[in-house]
Amino acid sequence: MVLKIGKMMRLLLSFWLLMAVVQFAGCSSLQVDSELEEPAITVVSPSPQQGESPAVSVSARSRELPEVELTAPLMMELLIAEMADVEGQYGIAMIYFFDTAQKSRDPRLAQRATRAAVFAKNYPFAVQAAAFWVELEPQHQEARQALISLLVSLDRYQEAKPHLQQLAEAQRLQQVSKILARAADAKQALALFDDLYLPAERTAAQHYVGAELAFELKQYESALSRLKLMGEEETLTLEQRQLQANALYHSGDIAAAIEVLAELLQRSPDAATIRLRYARMLIDNNQLEQGYQQLKMLSEQLPDNSDVIYGLGLIAYNAGRYDEAKEQFEKLLALNNRVDMVRHTLGQISELQQQLAQAIEWYLQVEKGEYYIQSQLRAAVLMAETGSLQQALAHLQQLQVESEQEQLQLELIQTELLVQAGRYDEAMARYTTLLQQTPDSIELRYARAMVAEKLEQLALLEQDLRHVLQLEPDNHQALNALGYTLADRTERAEEAYQLIERAYQISPDDPAILDSMGWALYRLGRLEEALQFLQQAAEALEDGEIFAHLGEVLWMAGEREAAQQVWQRAKEIDPDNRVLRRTLQRLLP
């Protein structure tokens, strides 16, 4: 046992002084002051910080407490127990508290032993201590409740049953339900409830608590069955019908749940809680406009309710009504609610409205939480897009991240910005450094391969992509990239086609793969098949490179006018496309 020397010396000095007083007074026994009584255990309490005692309520004892003969050995054990408890060494504390409880038969020490064992996470020992506590104080409800909670948490239902029976007989229905709701085995817990409250003898209250218990245990069909035992739906209270709606919703019958809530709103149109739940269910059921109308009604009744405002903003955002969404989210900011999420969303809205400076400002205001890194990275990308690459790189450099994954994401964005700026040598150096740290990173290998293509380092590109395929043989992006490069830049067209065909089998609707299939077939001289794939790709995605390929194959097939039309469209959508420019220079010098 490792304890601080200063506290040890102070406690030993206190012990010596106390023993001196006891000997001086000639006392043979000591009645423990009831004011020093420790509180009852709550099994689900969080562990306290070291040096702290859990704050819980004090429960009075009605019976006479035992007189404790304060011998020197007993006092020493108590001091060790207290010292260990203060130091957070609960495994030691529980042993000494339990030993002194057995010697003194003082229930408060059994209670302390139970609590210490719970904080030590030694639940079998906690059961032993709690059972002794119940033995010493059979009428003490907190003692019995602690024992039952421990037994249930350990799935020892049959041992818990007689104790639960006593609670049931004492009309403690809610306590019984609360304890059983913590059970790991839902079916066992409900079976035990049914043993305690026989269905044929149950009151309406017991039926309802049973339904609540089933719902808590995620046994939604059971909850609905128990509600039916209460009688006709018309006789159920609003609260009981709400439980029915929630159980229907969680069991997957959303339409029926919505119907129940609609009926309740006819009975109680001013019930804001029901209307909010109704709106949420409508939205979850993709009935967005109906949900929106319910939220609008609620906004008149509850103008400052953050859930209502958030729902209105979210629906408006998803519907593309960005000005309305912005208005709602700014209301949330005024209420200081969901601040970081709202700022991030306002940044997204500003982006969609092409207000990039405003978007950057919103993103930079996200200061913490789950949206922090995402917002800062997006701000940097927009800085680069608006011509402030150095500012973007400097901003990324000073960001503080909390995980290796976030650090990698940060490095990737920094390097991608260099690629976008055409600074390929710097980007290559960064990727190489990162790969020295994580050589099997698929993301890094693929990214470096793309830069290698820009630098005409085809051997390195092939090396990286084959490394990716060793790690993930069915990585369709790597298969496609390697196959396309071999088809476009080498004489290995047949090998290229085989790689791309594998990618096509995995992802047959990907426009990039369709384009690669067409290009490989063209390089193999199979023009008709090539045209079919390239036309599919062009229909799926308007892209300068795809149109450049399609135009070339049409040109070589003798369809010169069609080729010219395709190239004209490519110039309109992507006039600076490198592949398009090279194609036109070759074929239209």
45 pLDDT higher than 70: no
Tens digit of each residue's pLDDT (9 = 90 or more) over 251-291: 999 999 999 999 999 989 988 999 999 999 999 898 999 99
> Could you tell me what percent of the chain has a pLDDT over 70?
88
- The CB-based long-range contact list for 385-393 (8 Å cut-off, 24+ gap) reads 385/356, 386/356, 386/357, 386/360, 389/417, 389/421, 392/417, 393/417, 393/418
**Residue 383 near residue 391 (C-beta atoms within 8 A):** yes
DSSP of 95-116 = HHHHHHHHHH--HHHHHHHHHH
Task: Name which of 62, 83, 93 is nearest 6 in CA terms.
Answer: 83
Burial of residue 485, with CB atoms counted within 10 A of its CB: 0-12 exposed, 13-18 middle, 19 or more buried: buried
- pLDDT category, 61, cuts 50, 70, 90? low
**pLDDT tens per residue across span 365-384:** 998 888 998 999 999 999 99
The CATH superfamily label for domain 483-488+499-589 reads Tetratricopeptide repeat domain (1.25.40.10)
What one-letter code names the amino acid at 554? L
**Bridge partners (DSSP) listed for residue 30:** 68
Query: What are the backbone dihedrals phi and psi of residue 391, each rounded to the nearest 5 degrees, phi first?
Result: -65, -40
pLDDT score, position 229: 87
pLDDT of residue 198: 81
Q: Taking residues 210-231, what's their average pLDDT?
A: 91
CB 274 within 8 A of CB 238: yes
Residue 80: partners with Cβ closer than 8 Å, 6 or more residues away: 1, 92, 96
Token pair of 466, please?
């084959």
Q: Which two tokens stand for residue 14?
A: 């206190």
Q: HEC profile for 156-218?
A: CHHHHHHHHHHHHHCCCHHHHHHHHCCCCCHHHHHHHHHHHCCHHHCCHHHHHHHHHHHHHCC
> Average model confidence (pLDDT) for the chain?
85
What pLDDT digit, counting tens, does each position of 98-140 carry?
Answer: 999 999 899 999 999 999 999 999 999 999 999 999 999 988 8
Three-class secondary structure of residue 30 per DSSP: strand
How buried is residue 417: exposed, middle or buried, by Cβ count under 10 Å (0-12/13-18/19+)? buried
- The per-residue pLDDT for range 173-188, each reduced to its tens digit, is 888 888 888 888 889 8
Mean pLDDT of 559-580: 93
Domain map of the chain by residue range? 483-488+499-589
CA distance 457 to 446: 14
Question: At 386, which amino acid appears?
Answer: T
